[in-house]
Amino acid sequence: MNIREITKNVHYVGVNDRTTDRFEGLWPLPYGVSYNSYIVKGENKTALIDTVEIGSIRDFFHSLMSQIGSEGIDYVVVNHMEPDHSGGLNAVLEAYPSAKLVGNKQTMAMVKGYYHIPDDRLLEIKDGEEIDLGGKTLRFYFTPMVHWPETMMTYVKEDGILFSGDAFGTFGALNGGVTDQEMETDWYIPEMYRYYSNIVGKYGRFVQKALEKTSGLDIKFICSTHGPVWNGRIGEIVGIYDRLSKYESEPGVTIIYGSMYGNTAEVAEEIARELAARGVRNIKIHNAAKSNLSDMISDAFRYEGLIVGAPTYSMKIFPPVEAFMSAMETREIKNKVLATFGSFTWASASHKLLMEYAGKCKLDVVASLEMKHAVNGDIHRAISELADRVVEALKK
């Protein structure tokens, strides 16, 4: 059995990267990442779908050779231009001098800008256009902003395969198998939440458009650019992307706080205990100075309640909490039950500034409190009231 053959004459030629520390130079990769690339062999022509990040080029050619040997490539389809997928383009076009690079108008501008690829190597296609490889037909669906403006998906109608670009992708390298039938894939689900919220999170309405556009297709395999090929779990995976892109969340509360000397942390811990006492069972608490921003964003997307607190620091929000709120604003976070708490010693700022962030996110604050110096009887009462209001709002 060739574990890389997804279905007859469609092969996985991607690579695992277990070396890079941070994706996009930002997001931790504790379990690595895969850069997925695929070969589609028709009776007359062969197409390569996407390439890999430049640092993995040697592994990529080994992977490619293992599947096609000395056979040629006629088309190199660029579903997505971000360099984690386009880094291998120049090397591939050099190795296969008669291959044409296939993409849309936006792709063409980017390949010229990034890689100086000459016009005579480019084949621009339109939305809905098809290329016949002989018994395998590639049909192109433009899906802009999932996750860049040029992103598109490629569908092989004879096999029901959707090459979906970043959509339905996850962090995490592939452990031996390629499809979800060939390996345990439960552990990718939290990595999918993290991947979606960190990378694609800002573009929910475009993901919705893409889901709508491809909803009538008969899909047997989803071949994303990252993570497993989905086959047995397609309904579940599409459901996760559908919910996340609608900013729908699960029962639970994320508490994000910063604290210099433990007083604001005390408020965070007490809020959590008060919520637990009122029956909230899924509570995630992050000290923003210690947790990774990636995990905080992921939990904030995943759970319906969000409570954020910070001391005043040089008349601003304590910096790691400000970074988190800025990430929420960037991702246009919606549909959250939000509460805030601020603290100060001699001049108040964080309380007001957290409220301003809520306004910029167009979120209502269901409860807030402000503490001067340290926890006292009034603060205990305010915490209890805040927990009441959050639980009430969650019930709605």
Residue number with the smallest Cβ distance to ligand FEO: 82
Contacts of 71 (CB under 8 A, 6+ apart): 41, 46
Nearest approach in angstroms of CB 221 to ligand FEO is 19
Measured from the CB of residue 187, what is the shortest distance to ligand FEO in angstroms? 20
CB < 8 Å & 24+ apart, contacts of 88-93:
88/37, 88/51, 88/52, 88/53, 88/54, 88/56, 88/57, 88/60, 89/51, 89/115, 89/117, 90/115, 90/117, 91/51, 91/57, 91/61, 92/48, 92/51, 93/117, 93/121
- Judged by CB under 6 A, which of 50, 84, 191, 274 binds ligand FEO? 84
Element (H, E) at 77: strand 75-77
Q: Least distance in Å: CB of 2 to ligand FEO?
A: 25
Determine phi and psi for 179, rounding to 5 degrees: -95, 165
Return all residues near 80 (Cβ < 8 A) that are at least 6 apart: 50, 86, 147, 148, 150, 151, 152, 165, 166, 225
Q: Which is nearer to ligand FEO, 56 or 225 (CB)?
A: 225
Can you tell me which of 37, 48, 52, 85 binds ligand FEO, judged by CB under 6 A? 85
By the rule CB under 6 A, 147 interacts with ligand FEO: yes
End-to-end CA distance of the chain: 53
How far apart CA 96 and CA 51 sit, in angstroms, is 13
- The nearest distance, CB 202 to ligand FEO, in angstroms, is 12
Residue 84 or 322: which CB sits closer to ligand FEO? Answer: 84
194 binds ligand FEO per the rule CB under 6 A = no
CB of residue 245 to ligand FEO, shortest distance in Å: 15
Kindly indicate which of the ranges 79-87, 131-139, 247-255, 387-395 contains the residues binding ligand FEO, using the contact rule CB under 6 A: 79-87
Residues 177, 163: Cα–Cα separation, whole Å: 18
**Closest to ligand FEO by CB, 36 or 264:** 36
Among 12, 49, 77, 82, binds ligand FEO (CB under 6 A): 82
- Specify the residue, 223 or 363, whose C-beta has the smaller distance to ligand FEO: 223
User: Considering the rule CB under 6 A, would residue 191 count as an interface residue with ligand FEO?
Assistant: no
Tokens coding 184: 């345990």
The token duo for 79 is 């579903």
Cβ proximity to ligand FEO: between 168 and 341 the closer is 168
Among residues 203 and 318, whose Cβ is nearest to ligand FEO? 203
Our CB check for ligand FEO shows the closer of 192 and 317 to be 192
Q: How far is the CB of 147 from ligand FEO (least distance, A)?
A: 4
Tell the smallest beta-carbon distance from residue 257 to ligand FEO (Å).
31
Please state, in angstroms and rounded to a whole number, the distance separating the CA atoms of residues 158 and 156: 6
Q: Which of 80, 233, 284, 331 binds ligand FEO (CB under 6 A)?
A: 80
Q: Which residues pair with 367 in a beta bridge?
A: 339
Q: Smallest distance from the beta carbon of 38 to ligand FEO, in angstroms?
A: 14
The site that binds ligand FEO (CB under 6 A) totals a number of residues, namely 8
Residue of 270, 262, 269 whose CA lies nearest to 377: 270
Q: Cα–chain-centroid distance for residue 189?
A: 11
In this chain, which stretch among 44-52, 81-89, 203-211, 292-300 interacts with ligand FEO, using CB under 6 A?
A: 81-89
Radius of gyration of the chain (CA): 24
Minimum distance from residue 341 beta carbon to ligand FEO (Å): 36
Q: Is 161 exposed, middle or buried (0-12, 13-18, 19+ CB in 10 A)?
A: buried
Q: Is 226 in the site for ligand FEO (CB under 6 A)?
A: yes
Minimum CB distance to ligand FEO smaller for 226 or for 286 = 226
Residue from 17, 150, 159, 166 binding ligand FEO (CB under 6 A):
166
Burial of 332 (0-12, 13-18, 19+ CB in 10 A): middle
Nearest approach, Cβ of residue 80 and ligand FEO (Å): 6
Q: Interacting stretch for ligand FEO, rule CB under 6 A, among 82-90, 240-248, 254-262, 362-370?
A: 82-90
Are the C-beta atoms of 119 and 105 separated by less than 8 Å?
Answer: no
Among 37, 225, 298, 368, binds ligand FEO (CB under 6 A): 225
Binding residues for ligand FEO, rule: CB under 6 A, are 80, 82, 84-85, 147, 166, 225-226
